[in-house]
Amino acid sequence: MAASSLATLRSKIESDLHGRVASPFAYRDRNAFELVSTGVPEMDALVGGLPRGAMTEICGAACSGRTSLLLSALALRTADGEVCALVDARDSFDPLTGDAAGIALGKLLWVRCQNIEQALRATDLLIQAGGFGMVAVDLSEVPTRTVRQVPLNAWFRFRRAVEDTPTILLLLEQEPHAKTCASLVVRLEAGEARWTEASASSNCYPFAKLLRGFAVRTDVVRSRLQIPKESRVVDIRRGTQPKMAVPRDADRRVFEAETIWSK
């Protein structure tokens, strides 16, 4: 094709897309995202933080630390004055636990759903509406076989809708099903549990113990972000100072999740 024909075609495409797509032929580095803290220092050291204008996928089995990470991220965003939305696919969120974790509930829109269809529709509407610092979609209680049936074009639509916006789209699942579209995919795995003796007043159960918390191992499954070189491993309990540690490998970190009642 002649150079003049290419120039004419380019001009026509730019004219047709005017007002809808800015600079359609301009290269945009999709690795360069604005990153904000997760509220968990070792996660920030591992991945750099949560990217705005992109999809982040957190996956893991039950009791793998997904909820701890979600509550931490929501607490930090709402504490900064951002309005966030939580799409709760199985109506499993506990506001009392969220409040104890530091979430400003007045800044949180809690969308209570009964199934994944409602959750996907709600997510689509929230992203299109805009104005949210974070839209978290909790599919962690939805069976894996059900999430696997979500059409791939749904994840692509979410990714495209959130691009070039200040919104963080956070998905919580048992397995990564949207990793083709996600800019960051992290897998969590429960480690060693920590127990504490029950109160001495518990005479009825002299051998009872309470779960104090457990270690959470994190692995980067996929990342398009610029990961920082520094690494830290710390306890997420309030008031604990970070300490330097040597990671076992470049894509893994460990953090501590602690039960609300042990504070």
* Boundaries of every domain in the chain: 30-262
Q: Is 249 helix (H, G, I), strand (E, B) or coil?
A: coil
Over pLDDT 70: what percentage of the chain?
A: 69
Taking the model in full, what pTM does it have?
0.73
d(CA 57, CA 159): 12
pLDDT of residue 208: 66
pLDDT of residue 120: 96
d(CA 57, CA 186): 6
Q: What is the largest CA-CA distance in the chain?
A: 90
Q: Are 75 and 102 in contact (CB under 8 A)?
A: yes
**For residue 246, what is the enclosing H or E element?**
none
Residue 235: C-alpha distances to residues 3, 85, 256 (Å): 61, 27, 5
- Mean per-residue pLDDT for 249-253? 55
Superfamily for 30-262? P-loop containing nucleotide triphosphate hydrolases (3.40.50.300)
Beta bridge partner(s), residue 189: 217
Q: Which residue has the higher pLDDT, 176 or 232?
A: 176
d(CA 61, CA 187): 9
d(CA 171, CA 169): 7
Three-point CA angle 214, 216, 217, nearest 5° = 145
70: DSSP letter: H
Residue 24: C-alpha distances to residues 17, 20, 100, 126, 245 (Å): 8, 9, 46, 26, 45
Residue 256: C-alpha distances to residues 43, 65, 68, 158, 215 (Å): 11, 9, 9, 31, 4
Q: Which residue has the higher pLDDT, 45 or 10?
A: 45
pLDDT of residue 10: 72
Give the pLDDT band of residue 1 (cuts 50, 70, 90).
Answer: low
Name the least confident of 18-32, 33-47, 81-95, 113-127. 18-32
pLDDT of residue 203: 56
Q: Residue-wise over 13-40: b if at least 16 C-beta within 10 A, else e?
A: eeeeeeeeeeeeeeeeeeeebebbbbbb
- Mean per-residue pLDDT for 49-60? 94
Q: Is 102 helix (H, G, I), strand (E, B) or coil?
A: coil
- pLDDT, averaged across the chain: 79
Q: Are 105 and 98 in contact (CB under 8 A)?
A: yes
pLDDT of residue 248: 39
d(CA 234, CA 242): 5
Give the pLDDT band of residue 262 (cuts 50, 70, 90).
Answer: very low
Could you read off the pLDDT of 112-163 as tens digits, one per residue? 999 999 999 999 999 999 999 999 999 999 999 999 999 989 999 999 999 9
Name the least confident of 12-16, 73-77, 246-250. 246-250
The phi-psi region of residue 213 (left if phi > 0; otherwise alpha if psi is between -120 and 50; otherwise beta) is left
Give the pLDDT band of residue 168 (cuts 50, 70, 90).
Answer: very high
d(CA 212, CA 189): 17
Number of H helices, E strands in the chain: 7, 12
Beta bridge partner(s), residue 35: 51
Q: Are 93 and 100 in contact (CB under 8 A)?
A: no
